[in-house]
Structure 1
Amino acid sequence: MNADKKMASVRVVKPSATMPAPQTQIAIAVDTAYIAATNGQSVGTGIHMMDNQLNMDSSGEGSLELSTVCPVGSLIGFSVYPMDMNSGDKVVITGFNVSQGNVFGNVGYPIQADPNDGSYWIGQAMNAGRQTYQIQVRVTVGTLRPTNYDIDWDPFITAR
């Protein structure tokens, strides 16, 4: 399935009344069945990241190695969702960690946009430069006996 077809099934998450609308949007589709089949170990596929910044030279769309390029000062929305929206599986972001760089700075670090729904977070590119950040996600699979898998990976962001 190509990225365009995946994006067609994305639910649009709007910022709350207290959160401004981000200029940069990063959508993360998670193949929850794959994550469950691998017990959440050594995830090297099954994560499909996309953004709206191809015009700024973003690259790596459709993989977990997305390299987003955005303007300094840009608000960045992070949406995560299961690829099979009808599965009953849930995916939420549980946090971010910076491996290298300082694009988010101390005050631009991503925060959960809605305290009742961890599927949408907002950050801000505060400083020019390149950063490797770790995104931490919890995948919950199954309805009778839900099982959680905590996964993470290291995409990139460049602000200029």
Structure 2
Amino acid sequence: MALIEGKKAPDFSLVNETGERVTLADFKGQHVILYFYPKDMTPGCTTEACDFRDKHEDFSKLNVVVLGISPDDVKKHVKFIDKHGLPFSLLVDEDHAVAEAYGVWVLKKMYGREYMGIERSTFLIDAEGNLIKAWRKVRVKNHIEDVYTYLAEWGVTQ
């Protein structure tokens, strides 16, 4: 299934850091920032998570929920959240089914080696569950500000 802006975003059912089952449908009536990242406790992923943490109050005022998704397990998510004081849920996608549904489980290359992994990406989903904006191959620097600016331009206000 190809993701098309303006169309329904793929629903999912994943476990969060407390073991609670979370679905996209749980957030009907709220906007959702769904961000996929490769791995807890790595430099780029930590910076990105902390940037979302630092902007979390601003997003909350706009009725926007932030959810992070990676293949890491509950134990790693708990450690990551506790270490960095993350105020949002991290979802477990160990079999990368949701990453595949969003088209972010891709062939990557590093040091001449090929492997499958997460392409850092962010998706903005509206209160009705429609995909509004997709940021692919995200570079962490200034990304959260770009998302926040887009929300303002899109007309999401306090």
TM-score computed with the length of structure 2 as normaliser: 0.25
TM-score (norm 1): 0.25
Question: 1 or 2, which has the higher strand percentage?
Answer: 1
